[in-house]
Amino acid sequence: MEEFKHTSVLLEETIEGLSIRPDGIYVDGTLGGAGHSEQIVRRLTTGRLIGIDQDGDAIAAATERLQPYGERVTIVRSNYENFEIILDNLQIGQVHGILLDLGVSSYQLDTAVRGFSYMEDAPLDMRMDDRGERTAADIVNGYSQAELARVIREYGEDSFANNIAKHIVRVREEHPIRTTGELAEIIKAAIPAKVRAGAGHPAKKTFQAIRIELNRELTVLTESLDGMIRRLAPGGRICVITFHSLEDRIVKQCFRKNESPCICPPGLPVCMCHRKSLGTVITKKPILPSEEEQRRNTRSRSAKLRIFERNEEKADTEERKLP
């Protein structure tokens, strides 16, 4: 295995945002190379870190990096959508902080054989968890033209989605599309040359869309955030780092909804829905990387950090108590 290299984005801002207490329990739902996690566990004395990742290479790298911290660290190979099952199995009720650093890692992008990159020719894979049977090739060769166009339009936000899907279907009628290089060339041919000029790599949006679809990234995020907020202890915080507008919108809307959940008509003098606020949005505007960080790590440029804090007095402690 190649060395797992990944530069943690917004590291100082995230650690500060978690407001770590030495005896707290923290969950890193996207462990990766453990850059954020190591900074968390270094601040713990009697506390505990639960690291979750579905990528086997990440698990191996993080296990080695966090080995010196012994029993303060528990590492689980899984998707963070299973965090409640993981916590229940560990007999943990509430936690003091949760971190999600979303998207694809530098290691995944730079390891050609993983099939995430349009810059090198490799098998069309893109699985964040290589135990899964379906790959990007199954989507490219198996989805209908309409389904492909929907995925590219919704998750890639590409205005040429219909034409890209048409070109993919035309080529695969002759032979299956097996490699990233082949797909990148098909996408390039579907976008007018005058549009491609100076607009970045033409395959970027489609590759992002297929990756998101394959790994169910937005679905998992949408279905996990509310539960994560409910598992926070009073005063606990969740920090989420996003890298594109679709992720950020989901996080922003979820945090706002949990802060102000009332659905009563605006003119009603008294709330009748009885929906209670679960906490406060700490970041009214997202925290962005400094200019220095953006120069140091160009992949940080699109990163946004949002933070939500659970109410001190209103956290639901029914049958969920810290050990």
Which class for 295: exposed (0-12), middle (13-18), buried (19 or more C-beta within 10 A)?
exposed
More confident residue, 319 or 295: 295
Give the least confident one: 109-123, 164-178, 274-288, 308-322: 308-322
* Residue 4 pLDDT: 58
Q: Mean per-residue pLDDT for 81-96?
A: 98
The residue extents of the domains of the chain are: 11-107+217-310, 132-215
* Residue 318 pLDDT: 40
Give the phi and the psi of residue 308 in degrees, each rounded to 5.
-125, 140
More confident residue, 154 or 321: 154
User: Which CATH superfamily includes the segment(s) 132-215?
Assistant: Putative methyltransferase TM0872, insert domain (1.10.150.170)
Instruction: Please give the Cα distance from 311 to 233 (Å, whole number).
Output: 9
Residues 6+ apart with CB under 8 A from 199: none
* Residue 317 pLDDT: 43
Instruction: Please give the Cα distance from 18 to 98 (Å, whole number).
Output: 8
Taking all residues of the chain, what is their mean pLDDT, rounded to a whole number?
93
Q: What is the CATH number that goes with domain 11-107+217-310?
A: 3.40.50.150
> Where does the pLDDT of residue 6 fall: very low under 50, low under 70, confident under 90, or very high at 90 and above?
low
* Residue 320 pLDDT: 43
pTM of the model as a whole? 0.91
Smallest CA-to-CA distance from 320 within 237, 238, 230 is with 230
pLDDT above 70 (res 272)? yes
> Where does the pLDDT of residue 315 fall: very low under 50, low under 70, confident under 90, or very high at 90 and above?
very low
What confidence tens digit (pLDDT) does each residue in 148-170 have?
999 999 999 999 999 999 999 99
Q: How far apart are the first and last CA of the chain?
A: 38
* Residue 283 pLDDT: 98
* Residue 273 pLDDT: 87
Which class for 268: exposed (0-12), middle (13-18), buried (19 or more C-beta within 10 A)?
exposed
pLDDT above 90 as % of the chain: 83
Residues 6+ apart with CB under 8 A from 135: 115, 123, 124, 125, 126, 127, 214
